Chains A and B, each alone.
Chain A
Amino acid sequence: MTPYLSIEDVGITFPTPDGPFVALRDIRLGIEKGEFVSIIGHSGCGKSTIMNIIGGLAQASIGGVVLDNREVNEPGPDRAIVFQNHSLLPWLTVYKNVAIAVDKVFGDLKSKKERDDWVRHNLRLVHMDHAMEKRPGEISGGMKQRVGIARALAMEPKVLLMDEPFGALDALTRAHLQDSLMEIHAQLGNTVIMITHDVDESVLLSDRIVMMTNGPAATIGEVMTVDLERPRNRLELADNSAFNHYRAEVMRFLYERQRNPQAA
């Protein structure tokens, strides 16, 4: 049986004057419903490209993506994306930033009242219901990212795609948002793919960590299952030997086997 989300032999090749340039090759990955998978690798390894292919924002040169037994090759609300720089629309209030998605996705399916409730519900989920009438310019970076997550969740996507969602945030805010994300994942059981370059984040949040080799011709180097019980607590895990083992494994992959090409 094929998995819920299946990335099948995906590769990207750009034609250049010096012949074809292989950016990404042989990406094969199956993800089950409700799984939290993070993709980690150095900059330029094409991890964002994989996400864009799943999201339909970029086209694979070969191979394809099958979600819930249907091939996907264009963007759609069933694969909601949380962008790194939140990408809220600055002229809309927090409420309307979520409502624009809800109205589009559920315009025909839900009544006005239901949609309003749904917007409020999702903002409550990310603890942003106190700032619904604020504009993105008036709230902090962490709050913006919360709203970005609420907007994505409100689409009820089959897969939630997160492109380094907390990369631009300070460490404390990032920890808060990671905790919120774990809470939400436990509550809703979303299927999540998260791009990250933060080792701790990947181990803390993921069921599986996909480690990418460096480009060009980047591919999946190793997939590690993180067998830690949920709910996870970052303080308890700090002294947990299994957690530290996983962490060391990822670090070893990134800094021994795949040294950062830019740092070399």
Chain B
Amino acid sequence: MAIKDEIVADNPSVKPEAEPTYQKGGTDPSVPESGVNPFARLIQIVTPPLVTLVVVMMAWIFISTIVAPDIPGPQATFEQAREILADPFYTYGPNDMGIGWQVFYSLGRVLAGFALAVLVGVPLGFLVGTSRIMHRALSPLIQILKPVSPLAWLPIGLLLFEAVNPSAIFVIFITSIWPIILNTATGVKAIPGDYMNVARVLNLSPMETAVKILLPATRPHILTGMRLSLGIAWMVIVAAEMLTGGVGIGFYVWDEWNNLNVASIIVAILVIGVVGIVLEAIMNLVQSRFDYNQR
């Protein structure tokens, strides 16, 4: 829903149509009716993405037939997709499971790493945001570690945990924690001094201040950090699983590459994209529910 709204908002061809409704609709024949007509409006909303789809399809056909014949075209991919998505939750042993299971296991790792990142990142963000000393102490570390490529952490994880699953979760954790720390810290710093004065006049204890003032005041920032972080986590898991193996959408892509089944890889890419959109939509929903700025 949110995504659809965005498209409408970003689409300049739709905006002028809002104007004619202010004019006398219907009485003046020179005024186009399309602003009021829901069908015309629908066409205006649907057409631009449809054009994009056609262009992408043509480019795809062009590439698959002329540039790189090893890449399957839309037709072959669509048939593969039907086969894969017809039974997403089959299990023929540990190395052959449906794509639904692959996504399920990947999501499990993402959520585990993400949850850890929230649990550690929010308190750390509070420390960095409230204490000048902690800010000085931690900010060089954050600056150095933040831009590190996710996969550079994998060997460290493997050494630490001596197992692939915790290592993948570790990689998610260590790459998705930064936006949470930074956004929380920014949120804490952005709390107006007046809120703290209110807390002081009321003689709130440090604990009461944290629960009644600091946490709710920073909540929008924390949620933004969480949304960014979840997006990163979902991107990172695919790469991490390509290296760690096991059941998961990342390893699925790698496995199909080894089988030279490129159509399956394209299907997997689309599935990864759709799951990403769903995660984003869920976070948007959470944000609009809990962010007092958005109500």
**Chain A minimum-CB-distance residue to B290:** A91
Q: Does A242 touch B at the CB level, under 8 Å?
A: no
**Chain B minimum-CB-distance residue to A152:** B201
Of B194, B219, B293, the most chain A CB neighbours within 10 A belong to: B194
Contacting residue for A81 out of B192, B195, B201, B292, CB 8 A: B201
- Show 17 residue pairs from A and B whose CB-CB distance is below 8 angstroms, ordered by the A residue: A56-B200, A57-B197, A57-B200, A75-B203, A76-B201, A76-B203, A79-B201, A81-B201, A87-B192, A87-B197, A89-B198, A89-B217, A91-B217, A91-B292, A104-B202, A137-B292, A137-B295
Q: Does A180 touch B at the CB level, under 8 Å?
A: no
- Is the CB–CB distance between B201 and A80 below 8 Å? yes
- Is the CB–CB distance between A135 and B200 below 8 Å? no
Contacting residue for B202 out of A83, A90, A91, A105, CB 8 A: A105
Q: Does A258 touch B at the CB level, under 8 Å?
A: no
Q: Does B15 touch A at the CB level, under 8 Å?
A: no
- Distance in angstroms from A137 CB to nearest chain B CB is 7
Q: Does A100 touch B at the CB level, under 8 Å?
A: yes
In the complex, besides A57-B197, A89-B195, A89-B198, 18 extra interface pairs with C-beta distance below 8 angstroms are A55-B201, A75-B200, A75-B203, A77-B201, A77-B203, A80-B201, A89-B216, A89-B217, A90-B292, A90-B293, A100-B212, A101-B202, A104-B202, A104-B204, A105-B202, A135-B295, A137-B295, A155-B202
Given the contacts A100-B212, A135-B295, A87 and B194 also touching, CB distance less than 8 Å: yes
Flag B172-212 by CB within 8 Å of A: 1 or 0 each: 00000000000000000000101101101111100010001
CB-defined contacts of B295 to chain A, threshold 8 Å: 135, 137
- Is the CB–CB distance between B197 and A91 below 8 Å? no
- Distance in angstroms from A167 CB to nearest chain B CB is 14
5 closest residue pairs by CB, A with B: A87-B194, A91-B292, A75-B200, A91-B216, A104-B202
Q: Does A85 touch B at the CB level, under 8 Å?
A: yes
**Chain A minimum-CB-distance residue to B200:** A75
Report how far A225 CA is from B204 CA in the complex, Å: 38
- Distance in angstroms from A109 CB to nearest chain B CB is 14
Report how far A137 CA is from B295 CA in the complex, Å: 9
Report how far A75 CA is from B208 CA in the complex, Å: 16
How many chain B residues have a CB neighbour from A under 8 Å?
19
CB-defined contacts of A75 to chain B, threshold 8 Å: 197, 200-201, 203
CB-defined contacts of B194 to chain A, threshold 8 Å: 83, 85, 87
Report how far A81 CA is from B193 CA in the complex, Å: 14
Q: Does B213 touch A at the CB level, under 8 Å?
A: yes
CB-defined contacts of A89 to chain B, threshold 8 Å: 195, 198, 213, 216-217
CB-defined contacts of B292 to chain A, threshold 8 Å: 90-91, 135, 137
CB-defined contacts of B203 to chain A, threshold 8 Å: 75-77, 104
Chain A interface extent, by class: 20 to 34
**Chain A minimum-CB-distance residue to B192:** A87
Report how far A75 CA is from B198 CA in the complex, Å: 10
Report how far A76 CA is from B199 CA in the complex, Å: 10
- Distance in angstroms from B200 CB to nearest chain A CB is 4
- Distance in angstroms from A94 CB to nearest chain B CB is 13
**Chain A minimum-CB-distance residue to B194:** A87
- Distance in angstroms from A144 CB to nearest chain B CB is 12
- Give residues of chain B (212-256) contacting chain A, Cβ–Cβ below 8 Å: 212-213, 216-217, 219
**Chain A minimum-CB-distance residue to B205:** A104
**Chain B minimum-CB-distance residue to A87:** B194
- Distance in angstroms from B203 CB to nearest chain A CB is 6
CB-defined contacts of B195 to chain A, threshold 8 Å: 87, 89
- Give residues of chain B (6-61) contacting chain A, Cβ–Cβ below 8 Å: none
Flag A85-111 by CB within 8 Å of B: 1 or 0 each: 101011110000000110011000000
Given the contacts A100-B212, A135-B292, A137-B292, A87 and B202 also touching, CB distance less than 8 Å: no
- Distance in angstroms from B116 CB to nearest chain A CB is 27
- Give residues of chain A (147-186) contacting chain B, Cβ–Cβ below 8 Å: 155
Flag A207-222 by CB within 8 Å of B: 1 or 0 each: 0000000000000000
Report how far A114 CA is from B198 CA in the complex, Å: 23
Of A104, A105, A137, the most chain B CB neighbours within 10 A belong to: A104
- Distance in angstroms from B198 CB to nearest chain A CB is 6
CB-defined contacts of A81 to chain B, threshold 8 Å: 197, 201
CB-defined contacts of A55 to chain B, threshold 8 Å: 201
Report how far A91 CA is from B294 CA in the complex, Å: 11
- Distance in angstroms from A175 CB to nearest chain B CB is 25
Report how far A91 CA is from B200 CA in the complex, Å: 18
- Give residues of chain A (50-81) contacting chain B, Cβ–Cβ below 8 Å: 55-57, 74-77, 79-81
CB-defined contacts of B197 to chain A, threshold 8 Å: 57, 75, 81, 83, 87
Report how far A83 CA is from B58 CA in the complex, Å: 63
Report how far A52 CA is from B169 CA in the complex, Å: 51
CB-defined contacts of A83 to chain B, threshold 8 Å: 194, 197-198
- Distance in angstroms from B218 CB to nearest chain A CB is 10
Report how far A101 CA is from B216 CA in the complex, Å: 16
CB-defined contacts of A77 to chain B, threshold 8 Å: 201-203
**Chain A minimum-CB-distance residue to B294:** A137
Report how far A87 CA is from B213 CA in the complex, Å: 12
Report how far A43 CA is from B93 CA in the complex, Å: 78
